[in-house]
Amino acid sequence: MIAVDKLCYRSKLRYVNAGEKFAYSMLTLLFCIMSRSFALSMVVLLINSILTVGKGGLPLHRYISLMAVPSAFLILSTLAIIVNISKIPLDGYALPVGAFFITGSKASVLFGLRLIVTAMAAVSCLYFLSLNTTMTDIMAVLGRLHCPRIILELMLLIYRYIFVLMETASAMLVSQKARLGHKDLKTSLRSFGSMGAALLIRAFQRSVSLYDAMESRCYDGRIRVLDEQHPAKPSEIALIILYELVLLVYTVWRRVA
């Protein structure tokens, strides 16, 4: 139902130490947005794609379609940055419309392109994490980073119930569709709303029985789960440190220069 969640369980990098993957993607992400450099972003994008598709074994077409998910936002907001309406034409391009110009400077067009590449590289970092690490592993890392226990427990329960509720919701939507419940806008609004209400009622009922089930298994305000241990390989750590150092040096050099 959620593609990323299914794919990450199939990744060949799934059993690599989660802390290692987390540190790698967070640091790379950080250097990406700190440097905002075209070259660095291209390298990061390339390496992450190789890691996820080549090493992780994700089909390339799935990767491309996943990378296209934020495209609507990317196109719209970059357009808003590089397109100006002004009385004075700027040096990049200018289309006269009445007394005004639809215009932009060369610098801003370049800036927009760089922004697109940076954002795509950042998205590839996010995907490296989410397509190769299961959500439970990420939560275990957050736990080691001293994220409050209540928040982690809520995350664990929410994560579990997302799938339960999604299954319920899609079953309700299918049966509504089978009864022509989505034949036009008006009926589909009514159907969607009644589905939402029914879903929330089911969710409330589930929450009561969930608590009873937890209580009968000696719940005392704390959910204890064992996480699998996959020790990090020293060679991988060394490679990651080397790579991040190169990115760090490049970022600092760009800032100074």
Partner 1 sequence: MSKKEKILLKASIAFALLFAVAPAVNAMHIMEGYLPASYCVAWGVICVPFLAAGFISLKKRLEENRKSITLIAVAGAFIFVISSLKIPSVLGSCSHMTGTGLGAILFGPSAVSILGIIVLLFQAVLLAHGGLTTLGANTFSMAVAGPLLSFSIYKLCSGLKVNRKVSVFLAACLGDIFTYCVTSIQLALAYPSEAGGAAASAVKFLGVFAPVQLPLAIIEGILTVVIVIGLESYARPELKAIGFLKEAK
**Residues 151-170, interacting with partner 1 (CB under 8 A):** 151, 153-155, 157-162, 164-166, 169
Task: Compute the least distance from the CB of residue 131 to partner 1, in Å.
Answer: 10
Q: Are 232 and 17 in contact (CB under 8 A)?
A: yes
CB closer to partner 1, 231 vs 240: 240
Cα–Cα distance for residue pair 257/249, rounded to 1 Å: 12
Applying CB under 8 A, does 56 fall inside the site for partner 1?
no
Q: Which stretch binds partner 1 (CB under 8 A): 10-18, 51-59, 87-95, 239-247?
A: 87-95
Three-state SS at 15: coil
The residue written with tokens 């009622």 in the block is 201
CA dist 209 and 203 (Å) reads 10
At its nearest, how many Å lie between partner 1 and the CB of residue 234?
27
> Shortest approach of partner 1 to residue 33 CB, angstroms?
5
Please, which residues have CB within 8 angstroms of residue 140's CB and are 6 or more apart in sequence?
18, 227
Q: Indicate the residue among 221 and 231 with the shorter CB distance to partner 1.
A: 221
Tell me which of 46, 171, 214, 242 binds partner 1, using CB under 8 A: 214
Element (H, E) at 84: strand 84-86
Only one residue has tokens 């004075």, namely 88
Is 68 near partner 1 (CB under 8 A)?
yes
Q: Which is nearer to partner 1, 164 or 238 (CB)?
A: 164
* Cα gap 135→115, rounded to integer Å: 29
Of residues 161, 154, 145, 148, the one with CA closest to residue 223: 154
Q: How many residues in the shown chain lie near partner 1 by CB under 8 A?
A: 90
- As a whole number of angstroms, the distance between CA 175 and CA 163 comes to 18
Question: Of the ranges 48-56, 192-200, 225-233, 242-250, which one interacts with partner 1 (CB under 8 A)?
Answer: 192-200
123 binds partner 1 (CB under 8 A): yes
- Is 171 an interacting residue with respect to partner 1 (CB under 8 A)? no
Q: Under the criterion CB under 8 A, does residue 177 sit at the interface with partner 1? A: no
* Among 174, 180, 201, 239, contact with partner 1 (rule: CB under 8 A): 201
Work out whether 109 is an interface residue with partner 1 (CB under 8 A): no
Asked if 54 touches partner 1 (CB under 8 A), the answer is: no
Range in contact with partner 1 (rule: CB under 8 A) among 52-60, 116-124, 225-233, 242-250: 116-124
Task: Tell the residue number behind the tokens 């994490």, with chain if given.
Answer: 129
CA angle at residue 41 from 62 to 257, to 5 degrees? 175
In angstroms, the Cα distances linking 252 to 35, 48, 120, 249 are 8, 22, 22, 5
Answer yes or no whether residue 115 interacts with partner 1 by CB under 8 A: yes
72 near partner 1, judged by CB under 8 A: yes
